[in-house]
Amino acid sequence: MTDDSADEPLTYEQARWANDDEVYEPLLSEKHTQRVDIDSSLPDELTRDSLELPDLSEPQLARHYTRLSEMNYGVESGPFPLGSCTMKYNPKFTEDVAAHPMASVHPDRSERSVQGILEVQYRLQEQLARIGGMDAVTLQPPAGAAGEFTGILLARAYHESNGDDRSEVVIPDSAHGTNFASAAMAGYDVVSLPSADDGRVDTDALAAALSQETAALMLTNPNTLGLFERDIVKIAEMVHDVGGLLYYDGANLNALLGRARPGDMGFDIMHYNVHKTFATPHGGGGPGAGPVGVTDELAFFLPDPHVRRSNGGYERYKPEHSIGKVHGYDGNWLVLLKTYAYIARLGDEGLADASAKAVLNANYLASRIDHEIPFGPFHHEFVASAGDQDAADVAKRMLDYGVHPPTTKWPDIVDEALMTEPTEIEGKRTLDQLAAAFNAVHGEDAATIERAPERTAARRIDQVSAARNPRLSWQALDDE
């Protein structure tokens, strides 16, 4: 293949049973079952006499799950430029580390017998603190959103300890929805900050929004348009001048890794989406982890437990004015272990290289697509506009070209937004394939893209019903 061949989009057929209108892979319980008698000491009214259970051989089972994976699209199928969410291939060595039997010892074991685990947790606290320019890090929160909530609770504990009763959290309108939810759940009124014409924070609007009521400003930097907040030092000063704290949403840390640190920009609290920035396959709600970093002033308030050195070893303890528990035991420990393995393998040079490639890839892809990109210059992600096309139709159609679509319709300051983040893991040829898919869809008429996807195992599904009326049990249970 020559490079030019990449201008032509590849087309794609997803695996499916072609002779079945209801194209699907039967559930295990629909394939072959066996009636099993139940002999239980529980009261009769709580038990059944017998149960139909799947009865399959190992190869049947292996084929079932392989087929299901072929009917899906994942980070191991091809490019997955889901902006802000940062979906990227996760190196398998981190799974080997997490699968080590020593990693899964019972969390109630004595501290003396889990010194190795505590050491890794301590070192990860230190590594993340160094990467973010923070003084202390808790590993407890199990997701980015949980990190935000924890971080805002820390801000509240800090203000309350100063006898300072504040009621508002300021958040730019381009922020992720979880920012608004976290602030509201922590009991604050949310003040939404309109963006300036260049897509960044409007410092005049910020001045008007800040007051003695401001507990914190939550900021993503680069923001969700991929734009670096050039006025960040001034913004930090403005927030601190009214006694507020500056919170960093770390979901876009990929753009800065090894090159710039939120702590150095004046942020007081931040979370890390370790499943986005480092390694862990995520999506569909988990698994992940959202460690939170803070400056010294806030370290007394960190969740219980925290890990520290003691007598040549390591111990868990409850910080002096801890906000309490935000998760059981050691947080999402195996996800944290994968993070540690990833950081250790890449080293500082590797991390800096990852962010450089993430930014280069986004800029290269942007230069190859025909769409309008209203804001720039951007870092690791950009938001293109689908123009007259419906971004949701564009997204579905891209699957027919064998690529995962970008994040759509957000942030809404761009019409029919296509928020695109190719990540550092793609090479030029894959980016060219992605660009060819973007451009092919861009040139198609509404009728074609409204029918899409045509070549996937499942056609267009009813997303609203799936979200509002989920059927989480196997049909046989519903029928009983």
Sites of contact with ligand PLP (CB under 6 A) = 84-85, 143-145, 176, 178, 220, 224, 249, 251, 273, 288, 290
For ligand PLP, the closer of residues 114 and 358 by Cβ is: 358
CB of residue 103 to ligand PLP, shortest distance in Å: 22
CB of residue 283 to ligand PLP, shortest distance in Å: 9
Is there a contact between 335 and 275 (Cβ–Cβ < 8 Å)?
yes
Return the residue matching tokens 């409007």.
202
Question: How far is the first Cα of the chain from the last one, in angstroms, to the nearest whole number?
Answer: 58
CB of residue 276 to ligand PLP, shortest distance in Å: 6
Q: What is d(CA 146, CA 140) in angstroms, rounded to the nearest whole number?
A: 9
For ligand PLP, the closer of residues 223 and 322 by Cβ is: 223
CB of residue 145 to ligand PLP, shortest distance in Å: 3
Buried b vs exposed e over 208-240: b needs ≥16 C-beta within 10 Å? Answer: ebbeebbbbbbbbbbbbbbbbbebbeebbebbe
Give the DSSP H or E segment for 337.
Answer: helix 333-368
For ligand PLP, the closer of residues 176 and 397 by Cβ is: 176
For ligand PLP, the closer of residues 380 and 442 by Cβ is: 380
CB of residue 179 to ligand PLP, shortest distance in Å: 6
CB of residue 253 to ligand PLP, shortest distance in Å: 10
* Residue closest to ligand PLP, measured at CB: 144
For ligand PLP, the closer of residues 354 and 441 by Cβ is: 354
Q: What is d(CA 416, CA 295) in angstroms, rounded to the nearest whole number?
A: 39
Name residues whose C-beta falls within 8 Å of residue 2's C-beta, 6 or more positions apart in sequence.
none
Q: What is d(CA 147, CA 291) in angstroms, rounded to the nearest whole number?
A: 6
Q: Which of 136, 146, 109 is nearest to 325 (CA)?
A: 146
CB of residue 26 to ligand PLP, shortest distance in Å: 32
For ligand PLP, the closer of residues 125 and 220 by Cβ is: 220
For ligand PLP, the closer of residues 258 and 286 by Cβ is: 286
Is there a contact between 286 and 143 (Cβ–Cβ < 8 Å)?
yes
